[in-house]
Amino acid sequence: MQRYAAGAPAGSPIEPWAVDSPSWDPAAAALPSETWELLQRMPKAELHLHLDGSLRLATALELADGLGLVRAGSDADRLGWIRDGLVAPRAVRDQMALLRAFDLPVALMQTEAALERIAAELVEDLATDGTRYAEIKWAPTLHVRQLSLHDGIAAVVRGADEGMRRAPGVVVRLVAVLLRSHAPELGVAMAEAASGFVDRGLTGFDLAGQEALHPDPALHARAFELARGAGLGVTIHAGEWGGAAQVRRAMKVGTSRIEHGAPAWDDPGLLRELIERAVTLDLCPTSNTQAGIVGRYEDHPLPRLMRAGVAVTLSTDDRTVSDLSLMREYARAHASLGVTLPELWAIDRHALDVAFLHHEEALRARLRDEFEAFGRGEPRLAEG
C-alpha cells in the first residue's frame, strides 16, 4: 500500500511514502499542507549523510544489472530485489545488522564512473529537498578494489562538482571516512590522501564502523593529527553501540562534532562536558531508531538534549537505507518529537555554524545571510 504524505503541497517532490517504509510516520504524514510547504521551502543544511547509503534505486538496479547481480524477473520483482538490498527494516538487531545494508552499494561502487554518477545524482536529489548545504561522507577505502585511493577520491570529487553544476542551488563539501577496523597505518595513508583534496571540496575527516569490535578511536590518533594539520575538520561516529561511554571515548580524541552520540543523554556529567566544550551532536533519529539505539522514534532524546543546552544538528544519515529525505526527517521531528518550528530553524542554522568550512568563511557568511533572509519573512520560525 502506497500513500502520499497527507497535506503535501501541490508539485512537491515528496515521493510515495509506503506505510511499511522504515521512515513512515502517520503523525508527520498528517501535518497540515502549510507546514509541509514551509518545510519544503526552508533552506536546509545537512551534515551527516553517507554516499553509499543514498543511491537511487533505478541507478543501483542498472549498475547491478551490468554486473550480472540481478536475477531474471519482472521489472517490479527486480526493483523489489534492489529495494530489499538497499533499504533496511524499520528496526534491526544492532549496528552490525544495519551495516549489512551497505554490502550491495559497496559492491556497485567500484569504478570511477559509478562513483561519479552516484555522487552527482545525490547532489541533484538534495536540491529537490530544499537542501542548500550538505556534507557527504564516504569511506574511500571501501571503493578501491579496482582503483587507487587517489583515483577513487578524485572520482567522488568530480561527481560532487558535476552535481553542483546541475543543481547550482546546492553547496556540497565532502568528508572522508576512516573505518575503525582499519590498521592505523591505513588510516594514516587515507588522511594523507584526503589532505590532497582540501582545495577541491574535501573538508572533513571522520571515523565510523563497528564500535563493538573496535571501540577505541585513539588507535587512529596519528591519522586525526595529520587530518587536522592539513586543515580538515575532524568528527567521529560514536554511541551507536556501547552507550555514553563510547561518546566519552570520542571526546578524548578531541573533536568539535560527534556523529550520533544520542546516548549522551544518559550521563549528566557528559552533558555538562559537551556543553562546556561546545561539541555538536549530528543526530539522525530515524536511523538511530532503525539501529536500536532508541526503542521508538518518539523516545529519541534530541529535544531533551537541545533544551538542556547541548548543540545538535538533524540529518538523515542514509537517504536510501532509511527511505528518507531531510524534509521528512524535519517533519518527523516536528510531529513526533515535539520539536517546534522555531527550534527546527535554530537547529538548521546551527549546522552552518559548525559546518566544515574553516577555509571558506565568506561562503559560510553568504549562506548565513541567505538563511537569515528567509527566516525574516517567515513569522512561524520566530521564537515565541
Helix, coil or strand: residue 174: strand
Provide the pairing of β-strand 44-50 with 131-138. Answer: parallel
Sign of CA dihedral 323, 328, 330, 334: negative
CA angle 143, 144, 145 (to 5 degrees): 105
Euclidean distance between CA atoms 181 and 187, whole angstroms: 10
- What type of residue is 317? D
Tell me which DSSP letter residue 317 carries.
B
Half-sphere exposure of 226 (CA within 13 A, CB side): 18
3-class secondary structure, 3: strand
Long-range (24+ apart) CB contacts under 8 A made by 213-218 are 213/180, 213/181, 214/180, 214/181, 215/241, 215/242, 215/246, 215/249, 216/249, 217/180, 217/249, 217/250, 217/253, 218/249, 218/252, 218/253
Nearest C-alpha neighbor of 7 from the set 40, 27, 41, 36: 36
Within 8 A by CB and 6+ apart from 284, the residues are: 48, 260, 314, 315, 316, 317, 329
Phi, psi torsion values for 18, nearest 5 degrees: -75, 140
Nearest to 38 by CA among 134, 123, 125, 130: 130
240 catalytic residue (yes or no): yes
Choice among 46, 121, 135, 240 that is catalytic: 240
- Record the cell numbers describing residue 33, joined without a space: 499542507
Q: Which active-site residues does the annotation give? A: 240
